[in-house]
Chain A
Amino acid sequence: MAEVRFQSVRKTFGKVAAVDDVDLEIADGEFVVLLGPSGCGKTTLLRCLAGLEKVDGGKVEIGGRNATDLPPRRRRIAMVFQSYAVFPHMKVYDNVAFGLKMQRESKATIKERVGSAASLLHIEDYLDRYPSQLSGGQRQRVAVARAIATKADVLLMDEPLSNLDALLRMEMRAELKALLQKLDATTIYVTHDQVEALSMGDRIAVMNSGRIVQVDNPLAVYDQPADIFVGGFIGTPPMNFVAAQVIANGAAPTAQLSGGTLPLGEDARPLAGKDVVLGIRAESINVQTTPGDGMIRASVVVVEPLGSHNLLTVRTGDDMLKVSTPPNLFPAPESDVWLQIAPERIRWMDAVTGAAVSDASEVTPSRVDVLTRAPDTGAAPAPS
């Protein structure tokens, strides 16, 4: 296993920079997820690491060696493709053994490694079959077994779960995570599904338009998004973003929303008069059916019962918010509710750049910092 390093990596197609000056370090044994919407450059970055794309600028290091000009077969990587790419004309056994055969391992070693990979993926019974005789989920396992059998330095995965149906995807997610933890493999995993990213990665690198916007552990990315894009991309439902004015003349600071006023803590005083956006997650908004101090009135538009909780879309003033309530709280559409927002759960964003505003609290967004340049702001894009 080995560490991976991207240094100022750049890849253009025609005039468009699919990967635009990316720096990223991945420690030995770490599981990093590249997350972002379609076209953000995550797959391209992965393929640059694999050697399937030639970089137009920058350096790629694997295990301390400069791998930038090496062909894929010399980088000591293994890859699981989105379509699995399991060879149809070979039996499962030969598929899993392929990488080892290319390395000219002895028959005995091959047999042993194939056997252990197969048992880890629970495909021992299929070794003698052809891929066309297997289901999609089984083929996916073959693809993973093939990759881990080679005991490569770095494991690359390009949206391996996206072709599975929802239930199978959930099961495989857990199984894959357990497996990779056991193997302690350096893994780089690409996905557009933020649920997958949150649940699997040690760290998540959120990408947008060819740049890395935030790199952090899942909880930090969730609670302290670096900008409006990340906040809107991560989480189901996405973070609510509301235009607000912080007023702090004399008394305790308050936030003026189009639908009402919220009390804030003292640490919000420096934000007074600035052009800010209030970011708050659905589950951080307390919904009450009777009015109270410091609450904002809102009108219920849609109620979506989700079993474990209800997702409400409410309108307050000019803004629409998503809020969640316990399953027994079922306000009728067009009825009024009152929203209570804890000031410490608010994530303030700069209305101009879209980036998070560091206030008095010490939390810094990330370790590896490329955030100084703000990417596209604007409406939170729908996660694809």
Chain B
Amino acid sequence: MSAAAQPASVGQRIRRWEGLPYWLVLPTLAYLVLFFGWPMVEAFTLAFREEGVWSLDAFERMYDDLRFGEALKTTLILIGVIVPLQFALAVSMALLVNGRLRARGLFLYIFLLPLAISDLAAGIVWSSIFTERGYLNTILQHLGIGDPNLPRIWLDPTDQTTLLGTVVVAEIWRSTALIMIILVAGLQSIPKEFNEAAEVFGAGFWQRLRTVTLPMLKPSIQVALLLRVILAFEVFATVIAIAGEGTTVLAAEAYRWETTNQDENVAAAYASLILVLSVVSALIVLRLLRTKKEQLLR
């Protein structure tokens, strides 16, 4: 797409009229440098520099804090559990919605609903379900399970497993829509002739899924995975809404150090850690799901 060899096709022409494009782009560039680039630099400065001196004190404080290990562990566990489950679910939803289904439009709308729901709202919704006097217990009771006088306490602050489980459910509920929509867009860009050809040559549903659909979906999966992993390190309000002080994740710790403890250096340290983890994961995803250029559809 560079300004080279031939005149481009319909939709893009090459022009160099008085540098107009540069003027159009400049405000955005300036804004992003100012309110994205600079804060980034500031964040590292805050993390590595205290009282005018370069030091790793902030990181030490972060590391020594009791909650650090828990936050790191929880964050990683969440990602490890949520992402695979979510992808399986998203692929199923995408395939359902993309194929023949009665009232497809309605299903699509419903599946997409959580797209615009914030993590805070999702956390509140699911805490209302899992809370001791909440809807889950109500349903269970109607089904005759459990003691009516002693409803099960799902959200026990001392029980990590159920707390995390609820967070997992809430997160999957909320953000699968995003993965799904990326996958659906990818599915729609696969011409159906490929599946038809595979069928003609004898491939059954699971075979086609494995050998035709999923490989051709790889670029979309890569993008979706990238996004999801990066967002996963930002999980925050869901945890607070559901677990309160019961458990914590990295982003929540950053929040606490900034607001409650008023220690912006440690908060910045946490932020830097989150950034590094995000970038590393992103690179891993990019590497693992790399598609050779020759294999792409164009």
* Residues in chain A within 8 A of chain B (CB atoms): 13-16, 18, 39, 43-44, 52-54, 83
Contacts and interface: CB of A to CB of B under 8 A. Distances in A.
B6 interface: yes
* The 4 A-B residue pairs with the shortest CB-CB distance in the complex, in nearest-first order: A14-B4, A16-B5, A14-B5, A13-B7
Contacts of A39: 6
24 contacts: A13-B3, A13-B4, A13-B5, A13-B6, A13-B7, A13-B14, A14-B3, A14-B4, A14-B5, A15-B4, A15-B5, A16-B5, A16-B6, A18-B6, A18-B7, A39-B6, A43-B7, A44-B7, A52-B13, A53-B7, A54-B15, A54-B16, A54-B17, A83-B10
Nearest to A85: B10
Interface string B9-22: 01001111100000
Nearest to B2: A14
Nearest to A18: B7
Interface residues of B, number: 11
B15 to A, nearest CB: 8
Interface of B: 3-7, 10, 13-17
Contacts of B16: 54
Given A13-B3, A14-B5, A52-B13, 5 more contacts: A13-B4, A15-B4, A15-B5, A43-B7, A54-B17
A59 to B, nearest CB: 20
Main secondary structure of the interface of A (DSSP, over half): loop
A52 B13 CA distance: 9
Contacts of B14: 13
Contacts of B4: 13-15
A18 to B, nearest CB: 6
Among B3, B7, B16, the one with the most A-chain Cβ atoms within 10 Å of its Cβ is B7
A272 B68 CA distance: 96
A132 B15 CA distance: 30
Contacts of A52: 13
Nearest to A39: B6
Contacts of A54: 15-17
Nearest to B6: A13
A37 to B, nearest CB: 13
A27 B22 CA distance: 41
A352 B4 CA distance: 32
A83 B11 CA distance: 11
A11 to B, nearest CB: 9
Contacts of A14: 3-5
A14 B5 CA distance: 5
A43 B16 CA distance: 19
A44 B16 CA distance: 16
